[in-house]
Amino acid sequence: MAEVGSPFVLKVPDGSFSTAVFKIPTQAAWDRTVPGLLAGSPLLIAQAWTPTDFDWRIGVLDGRPLYACRYWMVPGHWQIRRAAQNAAGAVKDGRVEGVPLESVPAAVKRVACRAARLIGDGLYGIDAKEVDGSAVVIEVNDNPDIHLDYEDQAEGDWVYEELVAWFVKRIDEEVASPLKSSEPPTQEDDEPIRRPIGRLPRVPRREYRAYEVVGLEMEYALVDAKMEPQQLAEPTLAWLGGRPTSEVELGVVAFSNEFFDHLVEIKTHVPLSGLVESERALAEGIARLSSTLEERFGARPMPTSMHPWIDPSKARRWSRSGKRIYETYARLFDTSTHGWANVQSCQVNLPLGRAHEAVAMMNASALLVPYLPAIAASSPMYDGKLQPGVDNRLAFILQHQLKMPETQGQLVPEYCESMAGYKRDVLRPIYQAVDALDDARSIRHEWLNARGAVFKLSRRSMEVRVIDLQECVKADVAIAALVRGALHDLSADLVKGRIPLPEHRLLVEDLHACVHAGSQARVWAPHVPGVDRDAEGRAAVKDVIAHMQTRASRRLKRAEQPYLEIVDRIRREGTLSERMASRLRPHADDPAALREEARAVWLELCDCLVENRLWPGRSA
pLDDT band of residue 176 (cuts 50, 70, 90) is low
Residue range 55-90, pLDDT digits in tens: 999 999 988 899 999 999 999 888 888 876 665 567
Residue range 117-137, pLDDT digits in tens: 899 889 999 999 998 878 999
CATH architecture type of domain 53-176: 2-Layer Sandwich (3.30)
Q: Which of 131-140, 284-293, 506-515 has the lowest mean pLDDT?
A: 131-140
d(CA 528, CA 530): 7
pLDDT band of residue 175 (cuts 50, 70, 90) is low
Mean pLDDT of 247-261: 95
CATH topology of domain 215-613: Creatine Kinase; Chain A, domain 2 (3.30.590)
List, as one string, the DSSP characters of 287-332: HHHHHHIIIIISEEEE-SSS-SS--GGG--B--SS-HHHHHHHHHH
> CATH 3.30.590.20 region(s) of the chain?
215-613
pLDDT band of residue 184 (cuts 50, 70, 90) is very low
In terms of C-beta density within 10 A (0-12 exposed, 13-18 middle, 19 or more buried), how is residue 338 classed? Answer: buried
The DSSP element (H or E) to which 65 belongs, if any, is strand 64-72
Mean pLDDT of 515-540: 98
Average pLDDT of the chain is: 91
Position 407 scores a pLDDT of 97
Which DSSP state fits 518?
A: G
List, as one string, the DSSP characters of 377-394: --B-EETTEE-SSSBHHH
> CATH 3.30.470.20 region(s) of the chain?
53-176
Position 84 scores a pLDDT of 67
Answer yes or no: are the C-beta atoms of 338 and 308 closer than 8 Å: no
d(CA 320, CA 121): 25
